């Protein structure tokens, strides 16, 4: 059997090594192309922005005409500020005990209602009275339960503040600010902030461009 010359064998090994290295360094024609960057437009997102409700806002809402007392009922409102309502009353409970003994019991009840900050509300009635616009706003599904918010018509940028009475013959403590009628009963109203609770409305403001073109047909003198 014929033997290879050692020099030839070395030459073959070097040739194979160089060929392999060349294959590794040369990019393959079948390699996938570099990924392309595709820009996808992001759709416009409407932000839930809540701003104070004002007379000017009502005027803008009513700019196309209509009955604002009905239009305002279609808008979602929120209260700014936490409100507490409290009342105490005595309820007599009379009964007859065994042996014919009469029993008179006076039940002392203390009722507390809380309307948290940003609670949603809806106008259930609208009224113009003594230079003010009054909004009767409900915060539950009972239309007989509402709080009154008012704003003077001569101040277009004035807020709709919670309307309550301050009885000079009553003594108020701590955060008690006055009284309101809610659900047909008188409650003491409480809130911590110096500024009275007021109404907010969800509002989005957009600016858009519109181009209108018209070709004039000319005017002929007759």
State pLDDT tens for residues 61-86: 887 777 888 899 999 999 999 999 99
Residue 71's SS3 state is helix
Strands of 1-58 (E only): list them. 50-52
From residue 137, give the alpha-carbon distance in Å to each of 56, 132, 142. 19, 15, 11
pLDDT above 70 covers a percentage of the chain that reads 76
Q: Is residue 142 part of a domain?
A: yes
Q: Is 11 or 169 the better-scoring residue by pLDDT? A: 169
From residue 138, give the alpha-carbon distance in Å to each of 46, 76, 114, 216. 26, 11, 13, 55
- CA-based nearest residue to 108, from 91, 85, 87: 91
In terms of Cβ atoms closer than 10 Å to its own Cβ (0-12, 13-18, 19+), residue 214 is exposed
The 8-class DSSP code of residue 41 comes to P
Query: What does the CA dihedral 62, 66, 67, 73 come to, rounded to 10 degrees?
Result: -60
pLDDT level of residue 8 (50, 70, 90 thresholds): low
Residue 200's CB is within 10 A of a number of other CB atoms, namely: 21
Question: Each residue of 86-95: pLDDT tens digit?
Answer: 999 888 888 8
Question: What total number of domains does the chain contain?
Answer: 1
Phi, psi of 181 (to 5 degrees): -100, 125
Q: Is residue 145 part of a domain?
A: yes
Q: Is 44 or 149 the better-scoring residue by pLDDT? A: 149
Give me the numbers of helices (H) and strands (E) for the chain, helices first please.
3, 11
Q: Is residue 215 part of a domain?
A: no
Q: Is residue 19 part of a domain?
A: no
Q: Is residue 152 part of a domain?
A: yes
Question: Each residue of 163-213: pLDDT tens digit?
Answer: 999 888 888 888 999 999 999 999 999 998 888 999 999 887 666 677 788
pLDDT above 90 covers a percentage of the chain that reads 45
Q: Is residue 34 part of a domain?
A: no
Q: Is residue 222 part of a domain?
A: no
pTM over 0.85: no
Question: Each residue of 36-65: pLDDT tens digit?
Answer: 555 555 555 556 689 999 999 998 888 777
Q: Is 150 or 41 the better-scoring residue by pLDDT? A: 150
Q: Is residue 55 part of a domain?
A: no
Q: What average pLDDT score do residues 140-148 get?
A: 93
Range of the domain at 169: 66-83+114-202
Residue 127: pLDDT over 60: yes
């Amino acid at each position: 059997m014929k033997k290879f010359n050692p020099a030839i064998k070395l030459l073959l090994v070097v040739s194979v090594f160089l060929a392999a290295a060349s294959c590794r360094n040369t990019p393959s024609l079948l390699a996938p192309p570099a990924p392309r960057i595709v820009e996808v437009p992001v759709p416009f997102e409407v932000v839930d922005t809540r701003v104070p409700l004002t007379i000017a806002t009502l005027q803008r809402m009513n700019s196309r005409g209509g009955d604002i007392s009905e239009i305002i009922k279609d808008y979602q409102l929120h209260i700014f500020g936490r409100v507490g309502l409290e009342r105490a009353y005595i309820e007599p409970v009379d009964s007859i005990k065994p042996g014919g003994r009469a029993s008179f019991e006076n039940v002392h009840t203390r009722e507390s209602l809380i309307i948290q900050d940003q609670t949603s509300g809806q106008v259930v009635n609208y009224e113009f009275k003594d230079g003010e616009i009054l909004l009767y706003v409900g915060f539950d599904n009972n239309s007989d339960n509402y709080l009154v918010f008012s704003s003077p018509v001569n101040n277009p940028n004035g807020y709709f503040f919670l309307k309550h009475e301050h009885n000079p013959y009553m003594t108020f403590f701590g955060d008690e600010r006055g009284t309101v009628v809610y659900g047909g009963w008188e409650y003491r109203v409480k809130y911590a902030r110096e500024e009275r609770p007021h109404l907010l409305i969800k509002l989005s403001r957009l600016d858009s461009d519109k181009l209108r073109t018209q070709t004039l047909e000319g005017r002929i003198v007759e």
